Amino acid sequence: MVRLELDQVVIRRMKEDDIETVKALIKEGGEGTENRLILHVLTRPLCLFILAIVSSVLRCLVHSFILALAIPVFLLIIFLKITMPRATGVLGTSRPYWDYVGSSFRGAQDDTLENPYARISGKTAAAKKRRVKPKTKEEASAPPEKIDPDREEAAGQVWLADCDGEIAGCACRESEKRPGIRRICRVVVGSWYRREGLGRLLVQSLERREREVGARRIYAHVPFPSKLGEAFFRKLGYQPLGERTREEDEEEDEEVKVETAERGFLGFPLTKVYYKDLVLLAQKKFMYNYKNMRWAKGRNQTYLCFVVKRRLGPDSLSFDFGHLHNRTGCHAELLFLSHLGALCPGLWGCGGDENRRLSYSVTWFCSWSPCANCAATLARFLRLTPNLRLRIFVARLYFCDVEDSPHREGLRNLRRAGVLVNVMSYKDYFYCWQTFVAHRLSRFKAWEGLHTNSVRLSRTLNRILQPCETEDLRDAFRLIGLLT
DNA sequence: ATTTTCAAT
């Protein structure tokens, strides 16, 4: 295991010199996956059944029982070994071959992705960039051959994680077939560099880049039985396609049809499709879920829009934003916490300098206020991370009507943990609309009674938090010695 | 005046 300095990693486009290294890397990454995939196909009931039939037929011809059993299995394995990588590109591609030459970068200036760790430690990774090893062949001096831009476009892009001249990992972005929709595939980290957050760094940097150039959704096809791959993408905020509720949206069904899993031998799906919406919330969804009317019927979901600001000093600030909603069995707040590690690199001191204390300020806009449970978890969590500040704006209060509601206590609990809880007002709605919603240049239109509802809820919230304030005051008095 | 709330089929 090599200890990685994540802030020293340069993420750059693959060049023609790198092709052989990358091929080896992908082959290395593909091996385990391929074997697992074959095992997966072999153990499907239908496949076992067919194998059994073939074996019994063979038994009539061959005397040896063992042979009759082994031959079909053996042949099938050979068959799969040969056809599998061709029929379905392993590691989540749809293409049998990757056009390495077409996808390699031939610009004069290095094209690199922003590395969030690099900014934390303050050193610019680019400054330490090593020169590419000079080629041994004479064509090194020759200008690179011109390649058809169409071919380049079709080939997609390969990005490499360059650790001090060593290629430690790669991730590919396929060509854009539909506007705004991207697909990431072939995410491989060399076996010496695993479990250090390099894959995450690669995928997240790539996401950031794609978002900047207008992508709205990213797909990742995870080879089927890969628990590791699934966990990896889930952790980065991806979710499996077609696992959502019925009323969620109609467009989902369309997507399932368009973006289907690769199917191989006997039509077994070989990949599981994960996706992530990069930024924007649909107008209808935002309006429906954040409406602060008194009787919010049917809002059986909680949406959470967040802004994560990273602060290194008074003049260094970067921010990230997005939205998520609860999944079955997991409230949106806890879901956010599970993504926190990815959103706040270095929150627990990894990758950052000890003497440079970086701090995060997180703002949430929730359609429902947190429940007692989430509040308790959050409060516990925040006590462990003093360099994380949380502000919560809520559209509506969750089950807070009765005086002795545990959720009321939960809100006070949050308050005591130093969280600022507020009810969303017009300007917060306006900000959300500008920031999280695909507004397409239309301005936020307030609904009837937004203001009055907001004021009413705000009063309620203040009443709920009142005991807290007095307690704070008591603390303050105690501090200055007026109270014992 | 009265509706409802991080679903369950």
pLDDT in tens, A338-368: 999 888 887 876 545 555 678 899 999 999 9
CA–CA gap between residue A299 and residue A177 (Å, rounded): 35
Strand-pairing partners, residue A11, are A113, A161
Nucleotide nearest to A302 (CA to C1'): B6
Q: Is the pLDDT of residue A321 over 50?
A: yes
**How far is CA A204 from each of CA A138, A199, A321, rounded to the nearest angstrom?**
37, 8, 13
Q: Is the pLDDT of residue A251 over 70?
A: no
Q: Is the pLDDT of residue A290 over 60?
A: yes
User: What pLDDT sits at residue A137?
Assistant: 45
Q: What Å value separates CA A148 and C1' B2?
A: 68
Q: What Å value separates CA A178 and C1' B6?
A: 33
CA–CA gap between residue A151 and residue A154 (Å, rounded): 5
Nucleotide nearest to A371 (CA to C1'): B6
Q: What Å value separates CA A294 and C1' B2?
A: 11
CA–CA gap between residue A102 and residue A159 (Å, rounded): 13
Nucleotides of B under 7 A from a protein CB: 3-9
Mean predicted confidence (pLDDT) in A398-424? 94
Residue in this structure with the two tokens 């591609």, named with its chain if needed: A93
Find the residue closest to B3 using CA and C1' atoms. A295
Mean predicted confidence (pLDDT) in A248-261? 72
Q: Is the pLDDT of residue A245 over 60?
A: no
Q: What angle do CA A67, A73, A78 make, to 5 degrees?
A: 115
Nucleotide nearest to A400 (CA to C1'): B5
Nucleotide nearest to A402 (CA to C1'): B5
Nucleotide nearest to A333 (CA to C1'): B6
Mean predicted confidence (pLDDT) in A131-142? 47
Q: Is the pLDDT of residue A470 over 70?
A: yes
Residues of A annotated catalytic, as ranges: 333
User: What pLDDT sits at residue A325?
Assistant: 92
Mean predicted confidence (pLDDT) in A22-51? 89
Computed over every residue of chain A, the mean pLDDT equals 85
CB < 7 A contacts with chain B (nucleic strand): A 245-247, 294-302, 326, 328-329, 331-333, 366, 368-371, 374, 396-399, 401
A29: its two tokens: 């990454």
User: What pLDDT sits at residue A365?
Assistant: 98
Nucleotide nearest to A246 (CA to C1'): B9
Mean predicted confidence (pLDDT) in A119-123? 67
H or E segment at A405? Answer: none
Q: Is the pLDDT of residue A213 over 90?
A: no
Q: Which residue has better confidence, A251 or A248?
A: A251
User: What pLDDT sits at residue A432?
Assistant: 96
Q: What Å value separates CA A298 and C1' B7?
A: 10
Q: What Å value separates CA A329 and C1' B7?
A: 11
pLDDT one-digit tens code per residue, A48-62: 999 999 999 999 988
- What percentage of chain A exceeds 70 in pLDDT? 88
User: What pLDDT sits at residue A446?
Assistant: 94
Band of residue A118 on the pLDDT scale cut at 50, 70, 90 = confident
Mean predicted confidence (pLDDT) in A114-129? 65
User: What pLDDT sits at residue A86?
Assistant: 66
Percent helix, percent strand, percent coil in chain A, to nearest 5: 45, 20, 35
| Rg (chain A; Cα; Å) | 27
Mean predicted confidence (pLDDT) in A178-195? 91
Q: What Å value separates CA A63 and C1' B1?
A: 87
User: What pLDDT sits at residue A144?
Assistant: 60
Band of residue A36 on the pLDDT scale cut at 50, 70, 90 = confident
CA–CA gap between residue A48 and residue A58 (Å, rounded): 15
- Please give the torsion angle defined by the CA atoms of residues A236, A237, A241 and A242, in that order, rounded to the nearest 10 degrees: 150
Nucleotide nearest to A298 (CA to C1'): B4
Concatenated DSSP letters of A290-358: H---S--TT----EEEEEEEEEEETTEEEEEEEEEE-BTTB-HHHHHHHHHHHHSTTTTSTTS-SSS--
Q: Is the pLDDT of residue A29 over 90?
A: no
pLDDT one-digit tens code per residue, A472-481: 788 888 888 8
**pLDDT-wise least confident of A30-44, A96-110, A120-134, A289-303:** A120-134
Q: What Å value separates CA A402 and C1' B4?
A: 13
User: What pLDDT sits at residue A291?
Assistant: 94
Residues 6+ apart with CB under 8 A from A281: A303, A305, A323, A436, A437, A438
Q: Which residue has better confidence, A32 or A78?
A: A78
Q: Is the pLDDT of residue A430 over 60?
A: yes
User: What pLDDT sits at residue A355?
Assistant: 52
User: What pLDDT sits at residue A429?
Assistant: 97
Q: What Å value separates CA A82 and C1' B2?
A: 68
Q: Which of A68, A36, A45, A35 is nearest to A266 (CA)?
A: A45
Band of residue A90 on the pLDDT scale cut at 50, 70, 90 = low
User: What pLDDT sits at residue A143?
Assistant: 58
User: What pLDDT sits at residue A295?
Assistant: 86
User: What pLDDT sits at residue A249?
Assistant: 57
Q: Which residue has better confidence, A418 or A109?
A: A418
pTM: 0.77
User: What pLDDT sits at residue A294?
Assistant: 87
Q: Is the pLDDT of residue A222 over 80?
A: yes
User: What pLDDT sits at residue A244?
Assistant: 59
